[in-house]
Amino acid sequence: METADRLTKIPPYLFMELRKKIVAARAAGVDVISLAIGDPVEATPKSVIDELCRAAYDPANHRYPTDEEKGMLAFRQEVARWYDRRYGVALDPATEILGLIGSKEGCHHFILARINPGDVVLMTDPGYPAYRASILMGGGEPWNVPIRAKNDYLPDFAEIPTAIAKKARGMFLNYPNNPTGACATRKFLGDLVAFAKDYDIAVCYDNPYSEILFAGQERISFLMAPGAKDVGVELNSLSKPFNMCGWRLGMACGNPDLIAAISKVKENTDSGIFNPIQFAGIQALKTEEAFIEDMTAIYGRRRELVLSTLRKIGIVFTPPRGTFYLWTPVPEGMTSLEFTNRLFDRTAIVVAAGTAYGEFGEGYIRISLTVPDDRLAEAMSRIEKEFAA
């Protein structure tokens, strides 16, 4: 059966070879440890699960979701209180907030809501691969904005040719950044708003790691920047801060025209989020702030363990202060993929090669801290043994 052209445009998974080796090794009984995926392993908070169960028994919640594609008003109101408390950002639940089936859904529907076939959409390189896929599925043309260590992994707007900026209708950004861990500054957000205004670019600021911060890093939302609501939306998600990746719950906040347009796409696509999941989300936002602190303390300890192990084998760097990833330089003289393969062949540890996120990811691997403590300890002791000088 022939399938649609739009799918063939999405780049194939670059690391099929490695994936094959993992499957073969596991089948042969090798104890493979994966540090490649960002998906918390600890349970969702109990009060959230309890609230899901309570709501699931109410037949009123078995019908189509309340307010359908917009998300329940009570959920949107809780999101507004959350943004006010955590970021000092005021949002109108009626027009400036939309419930999402996760932030990834928002990325895709942002494209369908804003981009016409042939429009240029800016995204960072390295960047989250789903952006490129969404742009391509929506008929847009992705244009990669390099982000580099020397600029703290923030885009340099002067590097974007004027002709491209003029053609661009949208831009994806994500700080605290997956994969680099870099955080935005208030100054950068101001520059971003100005750039977007100058060229009429709609910003899709994807912020699922806004709560995963270390070493005194300030909590930052795109919507804190003056004028942000004129030029874009921020997507956020309960997946990463509340260990709810499988629940599929997030939100889009900001520009009312974009919110209405994304809502129209959803009305004609998915009809919204199962009510009990929204009730559970309200519970998380309302009562589980301390859970985030507990989790970031856990990630912080794991971070120190990985950094100290890397130091012992001669890899020394100052990591940025966000996300549960460590964007780690590979030893000199090796490519990302060579080091990834060597780690796997010698220690049965899987990491993500930097080039999975774009060509400017060359020279790095991404290590995820969402792995049980004992597995991480085992992985680090294998690395130390293998690579000790």
User: Binding to ligand PLP by residue 208, rule CB under 6 A?
Assistant: yes
> Would you count residue 103 as binding ligand PLP (CB under 6 A)?
yes
Q: Work out how close the CB of 38 gets to ligand PLP at its nearest, in angstroms, rounded to a whole number.
A: 6
Q: Which of positions 129-168 make contact with ligand PLP (CB under 6 A)?
A: none
| Binding of ligand PLP by 206 (CB under 6 A) | yes
Nearest distance, CB of residue 51 and ligand PLP, angstroms: 19
Which is nearer to ligand PLP, 277 or 348 (by Cβ)? 277
* Residue 237 makes contact with ligand PLP by CB under 6 A: yes
Q: Which CB, 188 or 387, lies closer to ligand PLP? A: 188
Q: Which of residues 250, 272, 322, 361 is near ligand PLP by CB under 6 A?
A: 250
User: Alpha-carbon distance 316 to 309, whole Å?
Assistant: 10
The nearer residue to ligand PLP, 169 or 248, going by C-beta atoms, is: 248
Q: Is there binding between residue 211 and ligand PLP (CB under 6 A)?
A: no
According to CB under 6 A, which one of 44, 174, 347, 370 is a site residue for ligand PLP? 174
**Cβ-closest residue to ligand PLP?**
102
Q: Is 358 in the site for ligand PLP (CB under 6 A)?
A: no
Nearer to ligand PLP by Cβ, of 206 and 234: the residue is 206
Q: In angstroms, what is the minimal distance from the CB of 105 to ligand PLP?
A: 6
261-266 own/partner pairs: CB under 8 Å, 24+ apart: 261/113, 261/114, 262/98, 262/106, 262/109, 262/110, 262/113, 262/233, 263/69, 263/70, 263/98, 264/69, 264/113, 265/109, 265/112, 265/113, 266/69, 266/98, 266/109
Q: How far is the CB of 118 from ligand PLP (least distance, A)?
A: 25
Task: Please give the size of the binding site for ligand PLP, defined by CB under 6 A.
Answer: 13
Site for ligand PLP in 2-21 (CB under 6 A): none
Kindly report the three-state secondary structure assignment for every residue of 29-51.
CCCCEECCCCCCCCCCCHHHHHH
In the numeric block, which tokens belong to residue 262? 């994304």
Check binding of 102 to ligand PLP (CB under 6 A).
Answer: yes
Pick the piece of the chain touching ligand PLP (CB under 6 A) from 83-91, 101-109, 212-220, 311-319: 101-109
The alpha carbon of 183 is separated from its chain's Cα centroid by a whole number of angstroms, namely 13
Site string for ligand PLP, 311-330 (x = CB under 6 A): --------------------
Q: Does 221 bind ligand PLP (CB under 6 A)?
A: no
Other CB atoms within a 10 A radius of the CB of residue 317 amount to 14
CB of 177 to ligand PLP, least distance (A): 8
Do the beta carbons of residue 251 and residue 97 sit within 8 Å? yes
Q: Are 353 and 336 in contact (CB under 8 A)?
A: yes
Q: Is 178 in the site for ligand PLP (CB under 6 A)?
A: yes
Binding site for ligand PLP (CB under 6 A): 38, 102-104, 128, 174, 178, 206, 208, 237, 239, 245, 250
